[in-house]
Amino acid sequence: MKVTSAEGPRINMSERSLSDWLSDAGDTLDDRGLEYGDPRHNLLRIYKIARLLGIQLRDPADVALLFIATKLSRMVESPEREDSYLDLIGYAAILGRCRFSTPEDWDDVESDSQS
């Protein structure tokens, strides 16, 4: 299957190596980080907003799960969009970082988000 990105058609997905996918996903995360900051800050803000709206989430990592679910749903409609796959890889990496962190790992995020 040919994929489509913001730059236009690309090579067949099967021709890309796994390391290319991971590298591109890392670049996407870096770009998003420059634009939006540490993803943990964003997850924590969304988590707090959801709680204020009465939406029950266990922790900010659940927000990453919702992002993954949203991306998977969009991929059903538009499976040819390369950036969807890169985003999915990125969200999975963010989820892993969150799930395998300790409460102390979030101390800087919590204090930064209150300022």
pLDDT at 1: 46
Question: How do residues 59-107 score in pLDDT, each as one tens digit?
Answer: 889 999 999 999 999 999 999 998 999 999 999 999 999 899 888 877 7
Q: Is there a contact between 82 and 3 (Cβ–Cβ < 8 Å)?
A: yes
Domain ranges within the chain, ordered by starting residue: 18-113
Q: Give Cβ neighbours of residue 61 (< 8 Å, ≥ 6 apart).
A: 43, 95, 98, 99
What burial class does residue 37 get, using C-beta atoms within 10 Å of its C-beta: 0-12 exposed, 13-18 middle, 19+ buried? exposed
Per-residue tokens: 94: 């963010």
Structure tokens at 100: 């395998």
**pLDDT above 50: residue 49:** yes
